[in-house]
Each structure stands twice: as C-alpha cells, then as structure tokens.
Amino acid sequence: MGASIEEMGRTTADARRLLQARAPVLVRGAVKDWRAVSAWSFEYLRDRLASTILEVEAYDVVAARLEPLELRRMTFGDYYARLKSVSTERLFIAETDITRSVPSILNDIEVPELIPTTESSRSLLFCGVDSLTPLHYHEAEHALLCQVRGTKRLLLSSPRKTRVMRPHRWYSLRRNFSRLSVEAWANSGSIGLDLAAAEPLECVLQPGDALFIPVHWWHAARGIDASISVTFFWPAARSHWAFPTPGVRTFWGSKSERLLRLFGRTLSSTRTIRLASCIARWVGIVDDAAALEADLKKGRI
C-alpha cells in the first residue's frame, strides 16, 4: 500500500494553497453540491445522450493494457447496450470534451473554486466499468479529477521518480506514458518491486471528492465497477514544471512531435506512408505501425 495523500478543505484560502503545494492534494466533498453528483448514472446519461456519437476506447479484458487502445465511434445508446451484454471487451469513454461533445450535460457541473479564475479550463468526461488508465503524466497542464459516481482509486508518484517509471523514449508519441504495468495494482492492490521503487501515493475518491494532480506527476486510475468522473485541465506555468525531467523531455519531445506531424502531412502515397510507419515503429516513435498508417492516411497526424 502506498503512502496517503495530503487532504485540504475547499475554502478560497485552501484553493490558494493548492497550487503552492506542488504535490497532489485530496479535497473531500469539493464538488458534492453539483447536480451531477446526485443525478448522474449510466441510465441518466443514456437518456440525455442516447443518439450522441462519442469516441470509445475498446480493449480486450485479458490483454495487457500497455498498448495503445482501439478507438471506436458509437452513440451513447449503443455504448450502454454493449455494457449490458456479456463480452470480453471493456469499453471506456475517456477524455470526452464536455463543452464540445456533450454540451447538454454541461449545466450539471460547475468549475470548482479550487481552479484559478485567471485560467481557462476544459472539462473532460471519463465513464466506464472497471476502467483502467495506465501510468502517465500531463505534459503542460494541472488537473483536478472530480469523482461524480462510483469509486476511483488513484496511484501517484513524484516527477523525481521519472527514471524509475520507465517512460517511453522522449521522442515517442507515448513519451508521457510508463512501460510499467499497473494490472496487478488494479486487480489486487499489490505494488510490486518496480512500483514500490517509485514510492507511490494512493487514494480512493468517492462521489463529490476531487484530487489535484500537478503537472508532471505520474498517475494511474482504476474505476471500481461503474464509475463516472470529470477532470478539469488548465495550463501550468513553466515555473511549475519539474526540471530536469520530465521538463526537458517534454520540451524536446513536443518539438520532435511537431516535426513528425509536419513530415506526416507531406506523405501522400500508400507505399511511403507504410514505409514511414514501419520506420516510426522500429525507432520507437509509436508502438503500433498499423495505427500510425491509418492516422496518416486519414490525415489525423
């Protein structure tokens, strides 16, 4: 079991202390007054979003969760029906921008006072059953994860432990993801030797709770049974970045990614796209050449 996280109140004075902490902070009951906390369930969302098309991450329950996931477009109505059917697939709605994709439920939430009013924030919806988000850090933003429905367990580790976390290469598109598996932690709570070396912190969020995740802090999230959360993201000042790492790898990684995107747009023939994708896989820019090839063909890169 990892060490526990500092807890704080939800007054304006606490909000000011939040950013100064430079470490994760748990705020119990921070969003307990949201309409979403009393209203949201999978059935409520199905009724409001039945024909809304969303991107859903799909993966095999028995497969290791380290590889990039397949993304499928489906309506929330279809998503709900598939959740109810017996299947070896796990479906997870992750990072759905509420303002852009599901504005009809925007009025059920409010921007928490804990977020500095000077910053513009975006709110993303996470919704799934037994979901698992692997270890990663955010490259340029702070986050406030607000639990709306069900329980979520979090594992966090300091930016100082980046080497121990075995991140993908700095020029990989998954450079802010770890190569360590959190399956054992997710399924049985056991922290193996690898994770123990990262001296992780742990916490459990209940509906109404919020967790501040500072920029560059590693974290993994496990939704227990049916779980719905909203995470707010807002830009982190450079002075809040962790140097030398992951700050330096973020800086150079984003430059190399921009180059790759520029290069990707110049590729036109199927053969050159396939060759470029294989090379990118070989040098470790991506894990999956076929996925990159599909993205390049559709102009998504």
Ligand X SMILES: O=C(O)CCC(=O)C(=O)O
Binding residues among 90-129 for ligand X as defined by CB under 6 A: 126
Closest CA to 222 of 189, 255, 249: 189
Residue 262 φ/ψ, nearest 5 degrees: -60, -45
Query: Of residues 52, 157, 229, 277, which one binds ligand X by CB under 6 A?
Result: 229
Nearest-angstrom CA–CA distance, 218 and 178: 9
Q: How far is the CB of 195 from ligand X (least distance, A)?
A: 17
Q: Between residues 178 and 229, which has the closer beta carbon with respect to ligand X?
A: 229
Nearer to ligand X, 36 or 280 (CB): 36
How many residues bind ligand X, per CB under 6 A? Answer: 11
175 versus 273: smaller Cβ distance to ligand X: 175
Residue from 157, 231, 250, 277 touching ligand X (CB under 6 A): that is 231
Rule CB under 6 A: is residue 221 a binding residue for ligand X? yes
Residue choice 145, 205, 280, 285 for contact with ligand X (CB under 6 A): 145
Among 52, 121, 133, 250, binds ligand X (CB under 6 A): 133
Q: What is the Cα Rg of the chain in Å? A: 19
d(CA 26, CA 5): 7
Tokens 């925007």 correspond to: 106
Quick one: which of 143, 164, 191, 286 contacts ligand X (CB under 6 A)?
143
Among 131, 172, 178, 277, binds ligand X (CB under 6 A): 131
Region for residue 294 given its phi and psi (left: phi exceeds 0; alpha: psi -120 to 50; beta: otherwise): alpha
Residues 166/180, Cβ–Cβ less than 8 Å:
yes
| Nearest partner of 143 among 216, 249, 57, 226, judged by Cα | 216
- Looking only at residues 26 through 85 of this chain, which bind ligand X when binding is defined by CB under 6 A? none
- Non-local (6+) Cβ contacts of 36 within 8 A are 105, 108, 109, 148, 230
Nearer to ligand X, 30 or 292 (CB): 30
Nearer to ligand X, 114 or 143 (CB): 143
* Chain residues in the site for ligand X (CB under 6 A): 126, 131, 133, 143, 145, 213, 219, 221, 223, 229, 231
